[in-house]
Amino acid sequence: MKKLCFVLTVSATFLFLFMVLSMTSVSFAQDKIQIKISNWFPVGVAQDKLLKEWGEDLEKRTNGRVKVSYYPTGTLIPAPQSYDGVVKGIADVTQHVAGYTVGRFPMMELIDLPLGYPSGTVTTKLANDYYKKFQPKEMDHVKVLWFHAQAPGILHTKSKPVYKLEDLKDLKIRTFGSNAKLMSRLGGTPVAMPMGDVYDALSKGVADGLLACYETMETWKFADFIRYSTECYDVAYTALFMVVMNKNKWNSLPKDIKDIIDKMSEEYINKSIKMWNDIEQSGKKLLLSKGGKIITLSKEEQAKWVEKATPLFEEYANNVEKKGLPGKEAVKFIQNYVKKYKK
């Protein structure tokens, strides 16, 4: 009888311990925070690596409390729908190009204007300082993590060199966002499309060139076709990228996790600057190695390009003002910011 009681007691003890461990395991699994990151850049390029690194970094800094699932190459959300995909909760985090959804972000889109950006460092610093100053309500649908912006965008052509405005006549140039109006004013024919469609457009003659930074020569393999780059830096534009999180997901996070993410976001501003500067130089080297020629416009010719582009600033500022937003103040802020770095 005593032996039976002992066996029953031991069995009951093991059963109790098993139940406790099972409940703990279930609780741990339920407590783990799941975050889905969507990215549309090709696997292995710098913009893909950086956002993937951010997810891995988040897992480490939270000691595994956050589990990240990463979806590259537009497998979860294609580029033009990336922002809406996060707003709807298809993904929790993504990066989106403001110029892919023209009119959606009237204040932030002003940064894309051809204001003569001198470097990728300036574009990204400006984007984050600008947002902190103006805090546009158009971004209230999401939690903004950080902004980054490409190196200065210039003109690249396949077979016809462009030394002056007249050379742009009849050339079909890939554009996006405000670049379409710029190209029309410069005399070329704008052809709007996402970056992922440009390679085929160049190969099939749908586009004779594009407005972009040197980075695209390597990231998107445009050096396969481009033979001339016209450095029109006095009208250089940028492309604004926003890294954002679903608002409901953000609100559901514990405060300590939010604090970690906020700290990381500040750090990744500088990581983004380094990324753009590195890949800009790498893309330029690749173009030259394939026989590409760089054309530098004279000061007199650059002045003609600036004259053509300048009316766009007032036009965009006035359109933003009509929406009750400080468009003129915003453009002046950007102009003064860029001027400071040009000295």
Per-residue pLDDT band at 24 (split at 50, 70, 90) = very low
> Could you report the per-residue pLDDT of 29-50, keeping only the tens digit for each?
447 999 999 999 999 999 999 9
pLDDT at 31: 75
154-238+287-342: CATH, from 3.30.70.3400, 3.40.190.170, 3.40.190.10, 3.40.50.2300: 3.40.190.170
Is it the case that residue 6 has pLDDT exceeding 50? no
pLDDT at 272: 98
pLDDT at 219: 96
Per-residue pLDDT band at 343 (split at 50, 70, 90) = low
State mean pLDDT over 219-238: 97
pLDDT at 17: 44
State mean pLDDT over 256-273: 98
pLDDT at 73: 96
E strand or H helix at 61: helix 46-61
> Could you report the per-residue pLDDT of 52-70, keeping only the tens digit for each?
999 999 999 999 999 999 9
Residue carrying structure tokens 């590259």: 72
> Could you report the per-residue pLDDT of 129-147, keeping only the tens digit for each?
999 999 999 999 999 999 9
Question: Rounded to an integer, what is the distance from CA 48 to the centroid of its chain?
Answer: 10
Does the 31-101+120-149+239-281 domain belong in CATH 3.40.190.170?
yes
Domain 31-101+120-149+239-281 and domain 154-238+287-342, same fold? Reply is: yes
CA distance 96 to 108: 12
Per-residue pLDDT band at 287 (split at 50, 70, 90) = very high
**299 Cβ partners below 8 Å, 6+ apart?**
none
State mean pLDDT over 261-271: 98
Q: What is the average pLDDT value for the chain, to the nearest integer?
A: 92
pLDDT at 9: 52
Read off the pTM.
0.88
**pLDDT-above-70 percentage for the chain:** 91
CA distance 131 to 332: 14
Extents of the domains making up the chain: 31-101+120-149+239-281, 154-238+287-342
> Could you report the per-residue pLDDT of 156-184, keeping only the tens digit for each?
999 999 999 999 999 999 998 889 999 99
CA distance 96 to 144: 11
Q: Residue 26: exposed, middle, or buried by beta-carbon count in 10 A (0-12, 13-18, 19+)?
A: exposed
State mean pLDDT over 91-97: 97
CA distance 225 to 204: 11
pLDDT at 118: 95
